[in-house]
Amino acid sequence: MLYIGVDLGTSSVKLLLMDSDGRIRNIVSREYPISFPHPGWSEQNPEDWYRETLEGIRILTEGFDKTQISGISFGGQMHGLVTLDVEDHVIRPAILWNDSRSVQETAYLNEVIGKEKLSAYTANIAFAGFTAPKILWMRNHEPELFGRIKKIMLPKDYLSYRLTGVFASDYSDASGMLLMDVENKCWSEEMMKICGIERGQLPDLFESYDTIGTVKSDVAREIGLPENVKVIAGAGDNAAAAIGTGTVGEGRCNISLGTSGTIFISSHTFRKDTNNALHAFAHADGHYHLMGCMLSAASCNKWWMEDILDTKEFSKEQEEIFTLGENRVFYLPYLMGERSPHNDPYARGTFIGMTMDTTRKDMTQAVLEGVLYGLRDSLEVARSLGLSIEKTKICGGGAKSLLWKKMAANILNVKVEIAKNEEGPALGGAILAAVGCGEFENVEQAVSKIVKVVETIEPEKELVEKYEKGYQKFRKIYPALRPVFQELAS
């Protein structure tokens, strides 16, 4: 049988075709625009996602026996707010995960409702990127549109709704809305009241590997699929990426260097950081995980290369970087504000330490190192909870850089394991589809068969010591500049 994994990303949708043995048979990507109508705003048209996904499925399955396609599942960008009216029309452009317009609503939730209550209701506190603050923003700033809301859903769930007509979400993705009681895996009555919404406006919840329906007959005909193709709930992109890298079980770790950057630590049991610096979410394997999330990771490198250096030769720019651990230039990777662990929408990208002999190479290196220093901030929180993390998988666009992976091993002081396939959320979606269709008994069995480690990058004692000194300098920069960021924002 064949299974389709759909990775609904911020800049494009990636579709992957996998067979029963876990072999990747085809991959297709389709791009769509993103708009920034105001500073700090980030929006997309959900119809673009759907249109490009359908076209992607057509291209992906060309030349294959479509009767063998058994299931479709998803990994999707998290936290985005998609709203539909009573006629299922999209009310307004989707407000994305990296949108920071809801600063006041986030402050209201954390300071007026209170972080202690939010943590009790949902296991998390409010971040500007989460869905609940966006709902409050709509209520405060677009009351007429807010009054038309019939359905509230996440980006990937809009795709599954268009494919099946079933209004559903999964626990891992819903964990990031600040509307779900994560420990008990149900919607929070208290949070619904705070946001002024009703249970009927929220989808039914499923495990990521549960079947929610089948592709509607008219859609199946349009894209040439059998009508009995199952649609499986899927997962938030980070949980799906963790499945794609085999990060399941107690204390397993995955780092994603995508548009955003995450450090993902799986757990059999529910646990949360008492300071809520890390997110406590459900995992796509049926259990739980802790996660630190940076809003800008590989996107920092993309910005630096394309917008500042005016080049697309990413690899060429890295070829001249030979000396590690001695860079005197530091970079704060906060182009869109920051989530973990600072929770500061006013934080901004910053270079510091330049002198007359600073080179283009030094600043490029600082960008790469700054992203990993930022991820280490979250790793240190996890370590403070008593978690021993000695190795990690890695995925995302940044994981294609050997230099960046070597930096990761030494800045984080962990073994970096490279999986045979680094397709992250798309592969995770395909694996979830296979589990949902009965190809495997559970997620653990699936990843043990499909995900294989082909290389391990070991930390080097001398570089670890050098980067330790660099990190201790880096971690002092944000606290010193925080008042300046707030003043600039005002």
Residues designated catalytic? 237
The CA-based diameter of the chain, rounded to the nearest angstrom, is 66
Q: Which H helix or E strand runs over 18?
A: strand 12-19
Peptide bond into 37 cis (omega under 30): no
Interatomic CA distance for residues 369 and 324, integer angstroms: 9
Burial annotation 170-181 (CB, 10 A radius, 16+ → b, else e): bbbbbbbbbbbb
Interatomic CA distance for residues 248 and 269, integer angstroms: 12
Amino acid making up residue 349: G
Q: In 3-state terms, what secondary structure has residue 14?
A: strand
Structure tokens at 370: 């700054």
Terminal-residue alpha carbon distance, the chain: 57
Selection from 109, 159, 158 nearest residue 132 by Cα = 109
* Residue list for the binding site for substrate: 78-79
Q: Provide CB contacts within 8 A for 433, sequence distance 6+.
A: 3, 4, 5, 70, 71, 72, 73, 230, 232
489 backbone dihedrals φ, ψ, rounded to 5°: -70, -30
